[in-house]
Amino acid sequence: MAEHVIRLPDVGEGIAEAELVEWQVKVGDLVRADTTLAAVMTDKATVEIPSPMDGEIIWLGAEIGDKVAVGSDLVRLKVAGEKDSASTAQPQARAALADAPRAAPATKTHPTTDAEQRSARPVISPRQAPRTAPSATPRSGAFAGAVRPVASPAVRLRAREAGFDLRQIPGTGPAGRITHEDLDAFAARDPRVARSQTLQPKSAVEDVKVIGLRRRIAEQMATAHARIPHITYVEEVDVTALEDLRESLNRRKRKEQPRLTLLPFLMRAMVSAVAKQPRLNALYDDEAGVIHQHAGVHIGVATQTPTGLLVPVVRHVEALNLWDCAAEIARLAETARTGSATREDLSGSTITLTSLGAMGGVVSTPIINHPEVAIVGVNKIMMRPVWNGSGFVPRKMMNLSSSFDHRVIDGWDAATFVQDIKALLETPALIFASD
Amino acid sequence: MREISCKLLVIGAGPGGYVCAIRAGQLGIDTVVVEANKLGGTCLNIGCIPSKALIHAADEFERVTHFASGKSPLGISLGTPQFDLARTMQWKDGIVGRLSGGVSGLLKKASVKIVEGWARFLDGKTVEVETEIGRQIVRSEHVVIATGSHAVELPGLPFGGPVISSTEALSLKAVPHNLVVVGAGYIGLELGTAFAKLGAAVTVIEALPRILPQYDAELTRPVSERLHELGITVLTGARAKELTQAKDGLIVEQSDGSLMTIETDRILVAIGHKPATEGWGLEEIDLDMDGPFIDIDDRCRTSMRGVYAIGDVTGEPMLAHRASAQGEMVADIVAGKRRAWDRACIPAICFTDPEVVIAGLTPEDAKAANIEIVTDAFPLRANGRAMTLASDSGFVRMVARADNHLLLGIQGVGVGISELSAAFSLAIEMGARLEDVAGTIFAHPTLSEGMLDAALKTLGQPIHI
């Protein structure tokens, strides 16, 4: 029997490493050629790694969540034959699940050269457990008598199990010794410790690895929040007329037409508003110092899925009517939720719309979908009393909470943009008039 | 090739490994321990236990020899005593066998699986064991490296022929006529003293300026005096170079640079131990090192997740009780308990004549750590029990913080003082002050009263001096 090493293939587009998100086999499994061994996720897509031949898995080269360098050993197979061998598996792109941080379409791309890829050493980054002190164990019989809290071993154990830091606990004993009574007193003040007999404090900590889509989201959010100085602008919109119109359209719609939600109206209003303020429908490449203003309006629609937040993209909204928009939103939401969205479905937006529907709250502070420059957040519709000049009347009111990249969007422009949308939504006929 | 899986794999069944495995087994963890040699490791088989057996036999023989000389003030006299080292060794081997069997029984009682053979890492979770019945693969969620340490060889004096390590010294068939001990650390002095008492002409060679260089001069002085009394030649500042051509002597470079030849039939090299980091696949898992030792944190975790290291392989002090405490802690951690190394002191004992105990900080340690201290020693010549045992050299010394009298260290030297080590470390571990010791009733007449008197003296209120 010989050993066959399967290496992580080049998963494309100048990617030097990929995150292992799934093992479909374990050591000892017998596999056939083309059996899927693992799935790795890059910035762009999830890729399945099939086995190139029949064999028995004898070694797995990474743990879920590890970043694996292209070209490094991923799996070792026991195979028939005499000679040890190695190969690079043929990747099979799976439906992309990642809301990929995109390179601006208009920026130049710099394909990674082979040399650069090779220079990225094929090393599986070891996942080190967090370590309190690199070498805190006393190396000799001595101890730092000056700094450690004085307490008997039993008190120390009790404190550790309760999760108390002895340095935080005043000792009332001789020489400042911390007694069991001191622990009791500290525990009594500690809000984590329940005072009732039936309610017990829990000290278990579950470690959940941040991997896959969650890691992507975390990275994307961190980038957006760290790089973009957000300005959030909130305005209320009277949607009474819009809601009447929407209900009326839904009553009259043909069977094959989708039900209209508020989103298609908003999207059409955004198209009109960005026509006046093209700078808002843009991708800002802050390294190159260039704002790429797009003529086409590609609206990302933030969507909650079982695995996390995805942003499918309705492309060329400027060329879609209300019903087209509604149909496209319905299709994308479905593919995102079932995990069958393609990379195209999930990339290329130029401005983003986020709505939690009835869960929308009164105000939100949306994070811009970097490198875009604007995001429109939709809060819930509430019946509120509105002064019409002579009396209070019940009106369906809704807030829009929108964030802008303040580096390139001034407050005035942001306000103008939102006011335009407000005007269109409050007099919905204008949405069609501007078509 | 057979394969087993477990939750915890312990490599090495010395005092670190077997304690870890037993505790883990008791906690319901599916545990496997691998040992290439005998259960109990260095400590039980070729270290602490057999050496103490030999030392005890030597002490007894020296006692009766003293009686036979007619010089004993106790009024005991007897005819010329005889000594049969082979029978002593048999007795010693019996003790070792019983203890090793005991470890085996304890492991089984804790439902720990014992695999006999040489382990080698394939990766951080997989170990291959060469056993008598073939290769076995053990896969484990957690692995504890407890491989221990080996005696260090001296360049120019490799083990073999007349050059022996403590292991061979503890299984000699006959008492050598001449014995040169290279290294005046605790192992060299313990064994050198024992063989001197058994009739060997012993010379001790130490490269540093004094014996037991890790301890302060005050503590080692009674030992020095006793070595002299026993007729042991101590050459400090001297270096062992090589064997003579005829291999019947050792060439030694003295402190003044001149060479001398010591005729001898055995040379015991006891210059220290080095961590056992070779031959078990350390290179496969590429752990962070701390000098020659495996680097660990305060939970005995290495740089690889799920891999722990305990005992001598992790550094000084290379002591069985440190390894055991670490092993127990790691078992708790693997069982999901919150633990971290927070011991206040690791006591150490030299079973020389007289014995030396150190626990916690010495006055020099405290000075180096910039701590204001009060310290004083109570001599055992003022202790009634020491007098009645006809061995009143030595003292007990207290080291406490000057501001609140918190005990930082207790040291002692004296015959039988090793048994006081428990009181020393308990006081320090409990965070006792000098007043706590002074306020405790120590039974009379005992050596342990030396501890009470030392506390009183350090407080400036001595009674018996």
Residue B444 has pLDDT above 70, yes or no: yes
Is pLDDT larger for residue A32 or for residue B164?
Answer: B164
Q: ipTM of the assembly?
A: 0.77
Q: Examine residue A185 and state whether it is found in any structural domain, yes or no.
A: no
Q: Measure CB to CB from residue A150 to each of B314, B326, B406 and give the nearest one.
A: B406
Q: Does position A131 have pLDDT exceeding 70, yes or no?
A: no
Average pLDDT over residues A116-140: 39
Whether A159 has its CB under 8 Å from any CB of chain B: the answer is no
Q: Give the chain B residue nearest A133 (alpha carbons).
A: B297
Q: Do A174 and B436 touch (CB under 8 A)?
A: yes
* Mean pLDDT, residues B171-188: 95
Q: Judge: A142–B337 Cβ closer than 8 Å, yes or no.
A: no
- Cβ of B1 under 8 Å from any chain A Cβ? no
Does residue A375 sit in the same domain as residue A238?
yes
Q: Does A14 have pLDDT greater than 70?
A: no
Per-residue three-class SS string for B182-238 = ECCCHHHHHHHHHHHHCCCEEEEEECCCCCCCCCCHHHHHHHHHHHHHCCCEEEECC
CATH number at residue A70: 2.40.50.100
**Closest residue of A to B368, CA-based?**
A144
The residue out of A94, A119, A147 marking a domain boundary is: A94
Q: Tell me, what's the pLDDT at A97?
A: 41
Q: Is pLDDT above 50 for B41? A: yes
Closest CA to A20 of A209, A286, A218, A302: A209
Given B122, B297, B408, which is nearest A136 (Cβ)?
B297
HSE-CB at A20 with a 13 A cutoff on CA atoms is 29
Please indicate, yes or no, if residue A164 is contained in any of the structural domains.
no
The active-site residue out of B56, B142, B444, B464 is B444
Numbered ranges of CATH 3.30.390.30 in chain B: 348-458
Identify the pLDDT of residue A168: 86
* Average pLDDT, integer, range B307-317: 96
Instruction: Using pLDDT thresholds of 50, 70 and 90, give the confidence band for residue A39.
Output: confident
pLDDT in tens, A304-348: 887 788 889 999 999 998 899 999 998 888 888 887 888 888 889
In this prediction, residue B375 carries a pLDDT of: 97
Looking at the complex, report in whole angstroms how far the Cα of residue B421 sits from the nearest Cα belonging to chain A. 13
pLDDT of amino acid A359: 85
Average pLDDT over residues A354-375: 90
Q: In angstroms, how far is CA B113 from the centroid of its own chain?
A: 28
**Mean pLDDT value of segment B45-74:** 94
Read off the pLDDT of residues B128-157 as tens digits, 9 standing for 90 and up.
999 988 999 999 999 999 999 999 999 889
Whether residue A38 lies inside any domain: the answer is yes
- Average pLDDT over every residue of A9-30: 79
Instruction: Give start-end residues of each CATH 3.50.50.60 domain in chain B.
Output: 2-46+89-150+274-334, 163-271
Q: With respect to residue A77, please indicate whether it lies within any of the assigned structural domains.
A: yes
Looking at residue B32, its amino acid is V
Q: How far is A185 from chain B (nearest CA, A)?
A: 20
In this predicted model, what pLDDT tens digit does every residue of A237-248 receive, in sequence order?
999 999 999 999
Instruction: Return the pLDDT at A92.
Output: 61
Backbone phi, then psi, for B266, in 5-degree steps?
A: -140, 140
Amino acid identity for residue B76 in this structure: I
Mean pLDDT of A191-208: 67
Whether residue A138 lies inside any domain: the answer is no
Q: Judge contact between B195 and B168, C-beta under 8 A.
A: no
Mean pLDDT over residues B203-213, rounded? 94
Residue B41 contacts residue B13 (beta carbons within 8 Å): yes
Angstrom distances, CA of residue A98 to CA of A209, A222, B82, B119: 17, 16, 86, 43
Q: Give residue A366's domain range.
A: 213-433
- CB-CB contact of B399 with B382 (8 Å): no
Domain B348-458 architecture = 2-Layer Sandwich (3.30)
With a pLDDT cut of 90, the percent of chain A lying above it is 36
Domain closes at, from A41, A67, A94 = A94
Would you say residue A398 lies in a domain? Answer: yes
CATH of residue A308's domain is 3.30.559.10
Q: Which of B297, B342, B369 sits opposite A146 (nearest CB)?
A: B369
- The encoded tokens of residue A358 equal 């009835």
Domain count, chain A: 2
**Is the pLDDT higher at A349 or at A134?**
A349
Which of A66, A94, A122 is the last residue in one of the domains?
Answer: A94
DSSP-derived 3-state class of residue B403: coil
**Is there a single domain that holds both residue A228 and residue A88?**
no
* pLDDT (mean) for B46-59: 96
Of A71-75, B309-313, B424-428, the range with the lowest mean pLDDT is A71-75
A161 to chain B, any CB pair closer than 8 A? The answer is yes
Q: Which of B296, B328, B332, B338 to mutate to test the interface with A (most CBs of A within 10 A)?
A: B338
Average pLDDT, stretch A357-376? Answer: 91
Least trusted range by pLDDT, from A1-15, A131-145, B446-460: A131-145
Average pLDDT, chain B: 95
Residue A416 in this model has a pLDDT that exceeds 50: yes
A172 lies in some domain = no
B150 catalytic? Reply is: no
Which overall architecture, per CATH, does domain B163-271 show? 3-Layer(bba) Sandwich (3.50)
Task: Count the Cβ atoms, other than its own, within 10 Å of residue A199.
Answer: 9
Q: Taking residues B317-342, what's their average pLDDT?
A: 96
**Distance between CA atoms of residues A62 and A68, nearest Å:** 7
Chain B residues touching residue A176 (CB < 8 angstroms): 404
Question: Residue B157 to residues A147, B165, B213, B267: CA-CA distances in angstroms?
Answer: 45, 11, 22, 9
Kindly state whether residue A119 falls inside one of the protein's structural domains.
no
- As a whole number of angstroms, the distance between CA B168 and CA B160 comes to 10
* CATH code of the domain made up of B2-46+89-150+274-334: 3.50.50.60
Position A139 pLDDT exceeds 70: no
What phi and psi, each to the nearest 5 degrees, are found at residue A412? Answer: -60, -45
